[in-house]
């Protein structure tokens, strides 16, 4: 496989994207913060199948990290990421040093969705995500951009901003990639000690408990939340941030699993914050 072309400049990336569009090539885009794992690779493989050209961005976006979060220690294995991209047939890696002018004054916020679930625990996080994704989509100008369902709130916010700002790009949601035992893949899993790794699996177990209960006919949100809470509380190093049963479009709390429903968990295992979710569509 030929090496991907690495582009650092936003202007150069934009010019290349324009040129590709002029020659009628479709662009599939996978935005990442690097530390690529099998989850990212499944997005890249799908982008490869569905487009003429694949662009992967690698940029640890400072504006989506809070002051006490892991921005400085976030893994940055660029050479390993590049090798994975080469093996997957990626054409371009967009790896800007920064995407923000020192006096940046323009931020993108998506009303009504940013101050719920993740947004409550990570104030400003989604403003950072929405802004960087808007910038990346404006620079790369893809036909399709691929996002994992593990970050369900991020996916929803990006779908809404792409529609509201007429960015002309199709957002393609992709299933959460999981380890063989069910743990959702995440670059942050690499922070877990073996004991934390075992305890983290309770998040998946709690969600699967919920899935089974709903199949058996239990739709009451309080009962389901209680059962999931019991499973999580058995882990000594796991601290629940939230367990939520919400409308998948508005993220408003629900009393019952009815309609299009997102069941989401965020928890700290040791010092590592993990999220996962399942979705029910149109349960009567
Ligand atoms: O999901 C991520 O890795 C990031 O939030 C994204 C979409 C690349 C924006 O920085």
CATH 3.30.1300.10 domain extents, the chain: 187-277
DSSP 217-256: T--BHHHHHHHHHHHHHT-TTEEEEEEEEEETTT--B-SB
Q: Which residues line ligand 1 (CB under 6 A)?
A: 31-33, 61, 64, 129, 132-133, 151, 154
Q: What is the pLDDT of residues 230-255, one digit of tens each?
A: 999 999 999 999 999 999 999 999 99
**What's the CA-to-centroid distance between 143 and ligand 1, angstroms?**
18
The pLDDT value given to residue 282: 75
Q: Whose CA is nearest to atom 1 of ligand 1?
A: 32
CATH 3.40.50.620 domain extents, the chain: 5-174
145 close to 30: Cβ distance less than 8 angstroms: yes
The pLDDT value given to residue 283: 47
Q: What is the pLDDT of residues 30-47, one digit of tens each?
A: 999 999 999 999 999 999
Q: Whose CA is nearest to atom 8 of ligand 1?
A: 32
* Pick among 4.10.91.20, 3.90.1150.10, 3.40.50.620, 3.40.350.10: CATH of 5-174: 3.40.50.620
**Do you know the residue count of the chain?**
284
34 close to 57: Cβ distance less than 8 angstroms: no
* Pick among 2.40.110.10, 3.40.1130.10, 3.40.50.280, 3.30.1300.10: CATH of 187-277: 3.30.1300.10
- Residues recognised as catalytic: 40
**What's the CA-to-centroid distance between 203 and ligand 1, angstroms?**
22
Per-residue pLDDT of the chain (284 residues; tens, 9 = 90+): 789 999 999 999 999 999 999 999 999 999 999 999 999 999 999 999 999 999 999 999 999 999 999 999 999 999 999 999 999 999 999 999 999 999 999 999 999 999 999 999 999 999 999 999 999 999 999 999 999 999 999 999 999 999 999 999 999 999 999 999 999 999 999 999 999 999 999 999 999 999 999 999 999 999 999 999 999 999 999 999 999 999 999 999 999 999 999 999 999 999 999 999 999 997 44
Ligand 1 mutation target, pool 154, 155, 159, 186, most atoms within 8 A of CB = 154
Nearest C-alpha neighbor of 31 from the set 123, 177, 127, 134 = 134
Calpha distance 29→133 (Å, rounded): 11
Q: Whose CA is nearest to atom 3 of ligand 1?
A: 32
pTM: 0.96
Calpha distance 280→263 (Å, rounded): 8
């Amino acid at each position: 496989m030929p090496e991907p072309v690495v582009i650092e400049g936003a202007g150069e990336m934009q010019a290349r994207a324009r040129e590709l569009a002029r020659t009628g090539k479709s662009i599939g885009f996978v935005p990442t913060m690097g530390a690529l794992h099998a989850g990212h690779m499944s997005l890249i493989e799908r982008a490869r199948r569905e487009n003429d050209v694949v662009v992967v961005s690698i940029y640890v976006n400072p504006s989506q990290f809070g002051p006490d979060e892991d921005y400085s220690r976030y893994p940055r294995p660029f050479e390993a990421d590049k090798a994975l991209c080469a093996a997957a047939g990626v054409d371009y890696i967009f790896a800007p040093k920064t995407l923000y002018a020192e006096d940046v004054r323009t931020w993108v916020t998506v009303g009504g969705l940013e101050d719920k679930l993740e947004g409550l625990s990570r104030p400003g996080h989604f403003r950072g995500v929405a802004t960087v994704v808007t910038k990346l989509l404006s620079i790369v100008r893809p036909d399709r951009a691929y996002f994992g369902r593990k970050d369900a709130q991020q996916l929803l916010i990006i779908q809404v901003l792409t529609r509201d700002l007429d960015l002309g790009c199709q957002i393609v949601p992709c299933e959460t990639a999981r380890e063989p035992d069910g743990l959702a893949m995440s670059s942050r899993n690499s922070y877990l000690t073996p004991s934390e790794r075992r305890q983290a699996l309770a998040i998946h177990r709690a969600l699967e408990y919920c899935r089974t209960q709903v199949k058996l006919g239990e739709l009451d949100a309080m009962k389901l939340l209680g059962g999931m809470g019991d499973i999580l509380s058995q882990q000594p190093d796991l601290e629940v941030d939230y367990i939520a049963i919400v409308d998948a479009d508005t993220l408003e709390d629900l009393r019952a699993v009815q309609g299009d429903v997102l069941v989401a968990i965020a928890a700290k295992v040791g010092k590592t914050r993990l999220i996962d979710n399942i979705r029910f569509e149109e349960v009567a």
